[in-house]
Amino acid sequence: MLRMLALFPFIAAISACSASLLSSSQQSTALTRTVVVDNLRSPWGIAFIDANTALITEKEGGLVIADLGSGETRSISGLPADLIDDIRSEVRFDNGGLFDIALDPNFAAEPFVYLSYAAKSDQGRTTKIIRARLEETSLEEAQTLLVADPFTEGEFFHYGGGLAFGDDGKLYVTIGERIYNERDNPALPIAQDPKDKRGKIYRLNKDGSAPEDNPDFGPNAAPGLFAMGIRAAQGIAVQPETGDIWFSEHGSRQGDEINRLAAGANYGWPIVTTGGYRNDDYTPPTLEGRDFTAPVWFWRQTVAPTGLAFYTGDAFPQWRNDLFVSGLSRGSFWRFNFENGVIVSVEELFVDDRIRSRDVAVAPDGALYMLTDTLLAPSPEGGLDYTGEAGGQLLRISPRKR
Amino acid sequence: MLRMLALFPFIAAISACSASLLSSSQQSTALTRTVVVDNLRSPWGIAFIDANTALITEKEGGLVIADLGSGETRSISGLPADLIDDIRSEVRFDNGGLFDIALDPNFAAEPFVYLSYAAKSDQGRTTKIIRARLEETSLEEAQTLLVADPFTEGEFFHYGGGLAFGDDGKLYVTIGERIYNERDNPALPIAQDPKDKRGKIYRLNKDGSAPEDNPDFGPNAAPGLFAMGIRAAQGIAVQPETGDIWFSEHGSRQGDEINRLAAGANYGWPIVTTGGYRNDDYTPPTLEGRDFTAPVWFWRQTVAPTGLAFYTGDAFPQWRNDLFVSGLSRGSFWRFNFENGVIVSVEELFVDDRIRSRDVAVAPDGALYMLTDTLLAPSPEGGLDYTGEAGGQLLRISPRKR
């Protein structure tokens, strides 16, 4: 992400007046954000046990259970031993840590939590999906559901890790291609190789096995493979109205996307992209006989979209069924207005407030929540940089009383 | 604009699915656009005589008076003889034609119309501001108020031409620097030279004379000069709540802006910009002792903002006092939500509908109107291009009945 932020050097071209340009608008917005849980360590994902209780993953290696009334948190023990702690990591640019969380659709009777994280071994690092039974504040009987082989060494980006249960009761998982530069691809690019588990989206049974009605990607394809051609997808969410599954994806140079998931689809990376490549002189290989699926939306600027959720609550009736998307870059938060399945307007909320929004979620009572990473501040080089000063927060978004 | 559209070649990288990506959403939007006047020839500006009658300028050299009930138009005669007709122009990339129109604030008693246009002479072309008395369907006793010297030859971009009367009864005028590439600037760049009339904003008395309370830009400054450092400003509008004046500006490579006008301000072009330069190796000169004023908003993608208006009607109570901005690139239409003078959210409406929006205006009865240029369609090179097929329209925007 530090490199991505460096894409905004032009802010430096503005005079001293830029400070006012970037001043916080949090206090003056028509929306109120109330801090519900504070001092989280780079929170990544959230799952609601009920309207008052949520499990929150922290990228820096923690899982907590939060009381949304008091804001108190308790640590959950029993996280896997091979989990990378992002902050402690000795590997440069390692984006690793604990990522997303999903609850079993039948959680009341089968209290399993599903987790994604960056795992390390003697061979390097990769993305892993596990499930475990939650007993009070500990995880028990952890099972590995997916290991996004191969383990690799070097610098580590784009683990992916988005988790969502579809209406079909299957677990959908996003896995990034885990390289920084498209030039580092083999002749058959990672995301285009059905045998390589990276750069894909999976559909799994709860025990990690592959459903029999998954699409066919050939005899040697990775088990559970559902779609390919993925660069760096993170967020994944179900659209309640339709049961469709949507996912966000980071572009390399612009080209951040919102996609609708389709069985067997190939989203094109790195053969086609809505943005540019890191290197202007990169020429992707020509691959015969592949059809690529275009995104439903792509931004023309860098947004770094992460978590996403369709709004189903009552607090904002005019926004019901709209898609909300968190963005890390500059701290942005987006609302997509759908009508008859088509995006007809796109609104950026909380503009220029520097709050890195990592995830957005709707609680069982219809409340809208935002999970924030850290604050940004102007860097000496003129872009925006992490402050490292403030912890992550769970914020409840409400209409302001007038 | 053709060159600007070429900035979007990455659309070509999308597969055949891009057609659906760009499909029209006009029929499915929560907003309805009703065609009020059709078959306009690249309309540029609009001024309402009353809620049922408007004067509309056509960039291709016409001025019409339109009945907003029947949609019928009549031509106004008496346009200046030195007006360039954009379509007939033999000069490559000439963006010339008839531009904006404003009515005298006391129009009922003093029926003057104020017009901006591209004028030609033996010495080349420039931007001119005139006023004339409207008698039925003819302009009488035209007076020249401003000639944005020098006349120049070559390719002609960025005439400017935005017109608005402030609450102070003065006429505010935007004039572009009228070159395509910042490299073509003299040692003291056009927009930074108070003697050069280009690249500036003016404040004039109704007869074109300079108000005595204008800011002081030195003894040889252009008469009426009010602000400088302008590249390619077009739209200019008064904010009813505050009386502040706002203007849009085209960036060179991204960096499209929304600015608040201040007496004596220098908006920095080409010394500083929120976007890039046409040439990566362009280094602006260092000018001592100048303070530059930053925009209130800049886009990180190309929008090509033109007309703008603050909404004061009743049809959309939740949008009252919001700023609407037309954009030519891709056809876009933007809403800025202000709270306590700060932009807190930004919404793009009618996304991906390809309708080039040239101007937005609020009629005396509070109705919201959009003036459209021409339709866009995918070009053989992969970007978007003019179709040349459909005429411009005046559209009334209303909430859809549900």
Q: Which pLDDT tens digit goes with each residue over B317-363? A: 888 999 999 998 877 899 999 888 889 999 999 987 778 899 999 99
Residues of chain B neighbouring A342 (CB-CB closer than 8 A)? 23, 25, 28
The predicted model gives A317-340 an average pLDDT of: 90
**Whole-number average pLDDT of chain A:** 87
Closest Cβ opposite residue B347 in set A10, A291, A347 = A347
In Å, how far is A282's CA from the nearest CA of chain B? 13
The predicted model gives B17-46 an average pLDDT of: 64
A160 bridge partner residues: A175
pLDDT confidence of residue A387: 57
pLDDT confidence of residue A386: 58
Closest Cβ opposite residue B21 in set A11, A294, A300 = A294
A357 bridge partner residues: A372
pLDDT confidence of residue B267: 98
Residues of chain A neighbouring B294 (CB-CB closer than 8 A)? 14-15, 17-18, 20-21
CA distances from residue B179 to B157, B161, B198 in whole angstroms, order as listed: 6, 15, 10
The pLDDT-based confidence of A280 (bands split at 50, 70, 90) is confident
pLDDT confidence of residue A180: 87
Residues of chain B neighbouring A274 (CB-CB closer than 8 A)? 10-11, 13-14
The predicted model gives A283-291 an average pLDDT of: 94
Task: Report CA torsion sign: A378, A383, A387, A390.
Answer: positive
Contact in structure between B31 and B402 (CB atoms under 8 Å): no
The pLDDT-based confidence of A146 (bands split at 50, 70, 90) is very high
Q: Which residue has the tokens 């051609």?
A: A229
Would you give the distance in Å from CA A180 to the centre of its chain?
Answer: 17
Q: In what order do the strands lie in the sheet with B112-121?
A: B98-103, B112-121, B124-135, B138-147
Name the region of A304 (left: φ>0; alpha: ψ -120 to 50; beta: rest): left
CA distances from residue B59 to A350, B118, B281 in whole angstroms, order as listed: 37, 9, 34
The predicted model gives B231-247 an average pLDDT of: 96
Q: Which of A32-41, B112-121, B272-281 has the highest mean pLDDT?
A: B112-121
The pLDDT-based confidence of B21 (bands split at 50, 70, 90) is very low
Q: How many other β-carbons are positioned within 10 Å of the β-carbon of residue A78?
A: 16
Query: What's the rounded Cα separation, in Å, for the pair A286 and B129?
Result: 56
pLDDT confidence of residue A383: 61
Q: For position A316, which CATH number holds?
A: 2.120.10.30
What 3-state class would DSSP assign to B13? Answer: helix
The pLDDT-based confidence of A222 (bands split at 50, 70, 90) is very high
The pLDDT-based confidence of A19 (bands split at 50, 70, 90) is very low
pLDDT reading at B68 higher than 90? yes
- SS3 string, A184-223, reads HCCCCCHHHCCCCCCCEEEEECCCCCCCCCCCCCCCCCCC
Q: Count how many domains chain B has.
A: 1
**Inter-chain residue contact B345 with A343, CB threshold 8 Å:** no
What one-character-per-residue DSSP string does B257-314 give?
Answer: EEEE--TT-B--TTTS-SSB-SSTT--PPP-TT---PPPSEE-SS---EEEEEE---S
Look at residues B307, B304, B136, B102 and name the one whose alpha carbon lies nearest to residue B206.
Answer: B102
Query: What's the rounded Cα separation, in Å, for the pair B344 and B38?
Result: 35
Query: What's the rounded Cα separation, in Å, for the pair A271 and A22?
Result: 37
ipTM of this complex prediction, to 2 decimal places: 0.80
pLDDT reading at A8 higher than 70? no
Q: Which of A139-148, A180-189, A350-359 has the highest mean pLDDT?
A: A139-148
The angle at the Cα of A293, spanning A292 to A295, to the nearest 5 degrees, equals 135
Residue A24 has φ and ψ, to the nearest 5°, of -65, 140
pLDDT confidence of residue B340: 81
First to last CA, chain B: 38
In B41-181, beta strands by DSSP E: 43-50, 53-58, 62-67, 73-75, 98-103, 112-121, 124-135, 138-147, 160-165, 171-175
**B5, B345, B346, B384: best mutation site toward chain A, by most A Cβ within 10 Å?**
B345
State yes or no: cis peptide before A378, omega within 30 of 0.
Answer: no
pLDDT reading at A217 higher than 50? yes
Show the domain range for B106.
5-399
Look at residues B345, B290, B280, B286 and name the one whose alpha carbon lies nearest to residue B318.
Answer: B345
**Inter-chain residue contact B28 with A295, CB threshold 8 Å:** no
**Inter-chain residue contact A345 with B254, CB threshold 8 Å:** no
Long-range contacts: A83-89, Cβ < 8 Å, 24+? A83/A117, A83/A118, A83/A119, A84/A117, A84/A118, A84/A119, A84/A120, A84/A125, A85/A60, A85/A61, A86/A42, A86/A59, A86/A60, A86/A61, A86/A118, A87/A41, A87/A60, A87/A61, A88/A61
Residue B18 has φ and ψ, to the nearest 5°, of -65, -25
Length of chain A in residues, anyone?
402
Look at residues A302, A27, A375 and name the one whose alpha carbon lies nearest to residue B299.
Answer: A302
Token pair for B310: 């603050």
Q: Which amino acid is at B288?
A: E
pLDDT confidence of residue A385: 59
CA-based R_g, chain B, Å = 20
**Whole-number average pLDDT of chain B:** 87
In Å, how far is A300's CA from the nearest CA of chain B? 6
pLDDT-above-70 percentage for chain B: 86
**Inter-chain residue contact B30 with A337, CB threshold 8 Å:** yes
CA-based R_g, chain A, Å = 20
Residues near B208 by Cβ (< 8 Å), separated by ≥ 6? B129, B131, B143, B144, B145, B146, B224
Question: Which residue of chain B has the CA closest to A338?
Answer: B29
Closest Cβ opposite residue B13 in set A13, A23, A273 = A273
In Å, how far is A219's CA from the nearest CA of chain B? 27
CA distances from residue A339 to A238, A321, B78, B147, B251 in whole angstroms, order as listed: 17, 9, 47, 49, 32
pLDDT confidence of residue B364: 95
Would you give the distance in Å from CA A308 to the centre of its chain?
Answer: 8
**Inter-chain residue contact B294 with A29, CB threshold 8 Å:** no
**Inter-chain residue contact B294 with A14, CB threshold 8 Å:** yes
Q: Which pLDDT tens digit goes with each residue over B84-118? A: 876 666 676 778 899 999 999 999 999 999 999 99
Residues of chain B neighbouring A292 (CB-CB closer than 8 A)? 14-15, 17
* Residue B286 touches partner A, C-beta closer than 8 Å: no
In Å, how far is A40's CA from the nearest CA of chain B? 26
pLDDT confidence of residue B377: 59
B103 bridge partner residues: B113
Contact in structure between B29 and A344 (CB atoms under 8 Å): yes
The pLDDT-based confidence of B157 (bands split at 50, 70, 90) is confident
* Residue B275 touches partner A, C-beta closer than 8 Å: yes
Interface list for A 4-23 with B (CB within 8 A): 8, 10-11, 13-15, 17-18, 20-21, 23
Contact in structure between A130 and A80 (CB atoms under 8 Å): yes
pLDDT reading at B218 higher than 60? yes
Contact in structure between B134 and B53 (CB atoms under 8 Å): no
Burial A10-31 (b: 16+ CB within 10 A, else e): bbebbbeebeebbeebeeebeb
Contact in structure between B157 and B95 (CB atoms under 8 Å): yes
Token pair for B130: 């005139």
Selected residue with higher pLDDT from A356 and A18: A356
Query: What's the rounded Cα separation, in Å, for the pair A312 and A183?
Result: 42
Q: Which residue has the tokens 């927060």?
A: A393
pLDDT confidence of residue A89: 66
State yes or no: cis peptide before B270, omega within 30 of 0.
Answer: yes
In Å, how far is B45's CA from the nearest CA of chain A? 25
The pLDDT-based confidence of B387 (bands split at 50, 70, 90) is low
Q: Which residue has the tokens 């690799």?
A: A152
Look at residues A370, A377, A374 and name the one whose alpha carbon lies nearest to residue A31.
Answer: A370
Q: Which pLDDT tens digit goes with each residue over A147-167? A: 999 999 887 789 999 999 999
pLDDT-above-70 percentage for chain A: 86
* Stretch among A189-198, A306-315, A378-387 having the lowest mean pLDDT: A378-387
What 3-state class would DSSP assign to B206? Answer: coil
The predicted model gives B224-251 an average pLDDT of: 96
Residues of chain B neighbouring A17 (CB-CB closer than 8 A)? 292-294
pLDDT confidence of residue B382: 62
* Residue B300 touches partner A, C-beta closer than 8 Å: yes
Q: Which pLDDT tens digit goes with each residue over A199-214? A: 999 999 999 999 999 9
Q: Which amino acid is at A75?
A: S
* Residue A337 touches partner B, C-beta closer than 8 Å: yes
The predicted model gives B19-28 an average pLDDT of: 27
A397 bridge partner residues: A33, A368
Look at residues A307, A212, A217 and name the one whose alpha carbon lies nearest to residue A266.
Answer: A217
* Residue B342 touches partner A, C-beta closer than 8 Å: yes
Q: β-pairing, A257-260 with A297-298?
A: antiparallel
In Å, how far is A96's CA from the nearest CA of chain B? 29
pLDDT reading at A12 higher than 50? no
Selected residue with higher pLDDT from A302 and A265: A265
Residues of chain B neighbouring A352 (CB-CB closer than 8 A)? 343
Query: What's the rounded Cα separation, in Å, for the pair B26 and B353?
Result: 7
Would you give the distance in Å from CA A111 to the centre of its chain?
Answer: 23
pLDDT confidence of residue B23: 25
**Inter-chain residue contact A345 with B347, CB threshold 8 Å:** yes
Question: Which residue of chain B has the CA closest to A299?
Answer: B301
Q: Which pLDDT tens digit goes with each residue over B246-255? A: 999 999 888 8
